[in-house]
Amino acid sequence: MLRLRLFITFKIMFHFAFAGTTSPGGHCSTSRNRLGSNTHKFLSDCSDQTYCSGPQNGTCLLRTCRRDEFPFGYGPEDFLPPLCPRGTFCPDEGDACRLQVSVGGACQMDRDEQCAPAANWREISNGENFYGSLCLRGICMFANVTYGEPCVIDKNTYTDIGFDGKAIGIVIVRDNCRAPQSYCNQETQVCERTKTLGDFCQQDQECELRNCVSGVCTEPPETPFRVAPWQYVITAFCVIGAMISICMLLTVIHRRHRMRRYREIREYYFEQLNLRKSIMALHSAAAVSEGREQMLI
């Protein structure tokens, strides 16, 4: 079992590491252009900064365009090829900007931006497509199919290595139904209405919020926390209560303090009076004894 696991892990690592390494000027063949079996990343004989010029006796040439702001395989000091202007796209190879493809045309896997936007893209555009366009199974289409109409499903498994070194497969299912109000049923291949929170589900895409946990449509983890009105009321009461009790506590402490001072001052006065009384008693006693002495003389 361990052996098998190690084998799988090594096989995956081998696949991940199998990107081309030929630098500019090296020999290559476009016949070996392919998508990685685990990541579905575009791979060729050439390195990430170059593309292969031809099918036979090709040469690796520096890429002339990029599709990402921060493209893969470039260091901070490397010169970046330019992004493509509007209406064009940079293919996975990075050889040149090309015009966007219209519906029915060929596109590269998961590259929705290679398809031209739909005329009514404002109605069908959302985070799951590019201006209403999709690239499913290598063909450009619009995400405009309504309830009960046949739809197209593109299901892909991406494999990654988890924390424990074991392979984890992530299945991504995409379809051309109008999202998020409908999804493509995998058995019937027909668009169906998406399910709302709390409904029974089997897969994420069946739910309107695209999150199915233990068979129930649930809010996705990134949903912002909503505070109910009664929670606002309780919080306000608690804050006001805390403020009032702090004020009362301060008043009580202040009063006690004043009381102690008052007692101290009173004691001081009493002491002063006693002192005065005793001095006067001393004086009168002295005067009396002086009078007696004079009488004796």
Ligand X SMILES: *[C@@H]1O[C@H](CO)[C@@H](O)[C@H](O)[C@H]1NC(C)=O
Binding site for ligand X (CB under 6 A): 56-57, 103, 142, 144-146
Q: Measuring CA to CA, how many Å separate 177 from each of 146, 186, 232?
A: 6, 12, 40
- At its nearest, how many Å lie between ligand X and the CB of residue 51? 18
> Closest CB to ligand X among 123 and 267?
123
SS3 222: coil
Containing 267, the helix (H) or strand (E) segment is helix 229-296
> Closest CB to ligand X among 150 and 220?
150
SS3 199: coil
> Closest CB to ligand X among 56 and 294?
56
- At its nearest, how many Å lie between ligand X and the CB of residue 103? 5
- At its nearest, how many Å lie between ligand X and the CB of residue 63? 23
- At its nearest, how many Å lie between ligand X and the CB of residue 2? 46
> Closest CB to ligand X among 21 and 146?
146
- At its nearest, how many Å lie between ligand X and the CB of residue 220? 28
Nearest to 44 by CA among 63, 65, 28: 28
Other residues' Cβ atoms within 10 Å of the Cβ of residue 267: 10
Give 218-223 contacts, CB < 8 A, sequence gap 24+: none
> Closest CB to ligand X among 54 and 220?
54
> Closest CB to ligand X among 118 and 201?
118
Nearest to 187 by CA among 173, 199, 200, 198: 173
- At its nearest, how many Å lie between ligand X and the CB of residue 56? 4
Nearest to 144 by CA among 104, 88, 112, 191: 191
DSSP 52-114: E--SSSEEEEE-S-BSSSS-TT--TTSPPPPBPPTTEE--TT-S--EEPBPTTSB--TT-GGG
Other residues' Cβ atoms within 10 Å of the Cβ of residue 199: 14
